[in-house]
């Protein structure tokens, strides 16, 4: 069947009646702008679409860590479904079946033989959601730009509940112990990195990617180019952070390139190993386990405890919505106690007149 301005569609039928009915249906669908795959498109598999997405779309994504994670997630879809599942069979029901397979996985390590050990916990629903989100990005592109799909079938697949996330922030004594451990460390970067994290609420990836071109010592600002919401962000430096970054610059004889220099010129220093060392030295392991990202939580807590509104916290931390700011802002038990103590006098019994 041929329509002016469109690719020809062909199908083979045993009966002329069926052929005419199909031609009329296709003509109607094309007339109202619906997607009707050609014979060649019907032969394409999900693996073909994923490979094209990886080749053309992943390289333009700004966050390298996100690219690697997304590529690994898409590889799972290729291995388990992509090689044989043609695009006309990529339906919500098919995807839901693979979602169930994902949920049945265990988090044990992969053995030398390539098998996953069964001693781990089940994969979290939020992890399954990330795999679905990866496939959704591919299907959305295949639908909206390539027109290989009639729609994005992942949108019709039920997602699992999202975990609220780990809420952890440092007490005053923990912060003091951590900074002391950083000062005692032989690593030239970790004290500056932790101080900047506490002073700005910046993520570890943003700090690690800083160059001296992103540091303005006249205006006392940091520029984060590649952020999570893909918008450059400028953050002011205040208080002790100014002295710390200035001292760090004096220790750098070049004054160029990465702020946190490592062994290679083409990559910044690794902050993970020294962070683990100072965390252990400060006693922030085991029940007191602390991640580098918890320094961001701590900054949000300091902001709210000093009267910042959710809108101000969102702007300071670079969030687009107040929902994330509310999740990151918590008050310490000591601050909550002092808040309630303000009304204690109101509750005292008044003496009889």
At 125-180, the pLDDT tens digits run: 888 999 999 999 999 999 999 888 888 999 999 998 876 666 788 989 999 999 99
Helix (H, G, I), strand (E, B) or coil at 297: helix
CATH fold group of domain 172-340 = hpI Integrase; Chain A (1.10.443)
Per-residue pLDDT band for 315 (boundaries 50, 70, 90) equals: confident
pLDDT computed for residue 271 by the predictor: 92
Q: Measured between alpha carbons, how far is residue 61 from residues 67, 74, 138, 315, 326 in Å?
A: 7, 15, 13, 24, 28
Domain ranges of the chain: 37-156, 172-340
348 versus 75: the higher-pLDDT residue is 75
pLDDT for the residue numbered 75 = 92
**What would the mean pLDDT of 41-53 be, rounded to a whole number?**
85
pLDDT in tens, 60-100: 765 555 778 889 999 999 988 867 888 888 999 999 999 99
More confident site: 110 or 340: 340
User: Which tens digit of pLDDT belongs to each residue from 244-287?
Assistant: 999 999 998 888 899 999 888 888 998 999 999 999 999 999 88
Question: Residue 138: CB partners within 8 Å, gap ≥ 6?
Answer: 49, 50, 53, 74, 77
How is residue 60 annotated by DSSP?
G
**Domain 37-156 sits in CATH 1.10.150:** yes
Residue 29 has pLDDT above 60, yes or no: no
For the record, the structure tokens of 89 come out as 């069979």
CB of 62 within 8 A of CB of 230? yes
Domain 37-156 identical in fold to domain 172-340: no
Q: pLDDT value at position 254?
A: 85
- Spacing of C-alpha 145 from chain mean position: 24
């Amino acid at each position: 069947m041929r329509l002016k301005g469109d690719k020809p569609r062909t199908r083979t039928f045993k009966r002329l009646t069926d052929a005419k009915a199909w031609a009329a249906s296709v003509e109607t669908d094309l007339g109202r702008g619906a997607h009707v795959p050609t014979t060649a498109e019907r032969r394409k598999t999900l693996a073909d679409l994923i490979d094209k997405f990886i080749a053309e779309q992943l390289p333009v994504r700004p966050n390298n860590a996100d690219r690697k994670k997304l590529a690994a997630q898409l590889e799972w879809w290729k291995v388990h479904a992509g090689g044989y599942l043609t695009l006309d069979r990529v339906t919500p029901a098919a995807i839901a079946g693979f979602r169930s397979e994902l949920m049945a996985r265990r988090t044990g390590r992969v053995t030398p033989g390539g098998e996953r050990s069964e001693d781990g916990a089940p994969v979290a629903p939020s992890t399954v959601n990330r795999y679905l989100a990866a496939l959704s990005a591919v299907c959305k592109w295949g639908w909206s730009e390539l027109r290989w799909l009639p729609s994005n079938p992942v949108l019709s697949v039920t997602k699992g509940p999202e975990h609220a996330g780990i809420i952890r922030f440092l007490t005053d004594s923990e912060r003091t112990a951590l900074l002391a451990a950083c000062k005692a460390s032989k690593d030239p970067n970790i004290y500056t990195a932790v101080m900047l994290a506490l002073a700005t609420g910046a993520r570890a990836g943003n700090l690690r990617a800083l160059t001296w071109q992103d540091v303005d010592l006249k205006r006392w600002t940091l520029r984060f180019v590649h952020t999570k919401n893909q918008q450059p962000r400028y953050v002011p430096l205040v208080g002790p952070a100014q002295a710390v970054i200035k001292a760090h610059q004096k220790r750098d004889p070049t004054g160029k390139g990465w702020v946190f220099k490592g062994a290679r010129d083409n990559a910044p220093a690794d902050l993970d190993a020294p962070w683990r060392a100072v965390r252990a030295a400060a006693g922030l392991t085991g029940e007191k386990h602390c991640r580098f990202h918890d320094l961001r939580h701590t900054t949000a807590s300091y902001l709210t405890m000093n009267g910042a509104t959710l809108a101000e916290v969102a702007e300071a931390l670079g969030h687009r919505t107040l929902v994330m700011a509310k999740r990151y802002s918590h008050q310490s038990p000591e601050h909550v106690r002092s808040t309630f103590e303000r009304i204690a006098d109101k509750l005292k019994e008044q003496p009889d007149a």
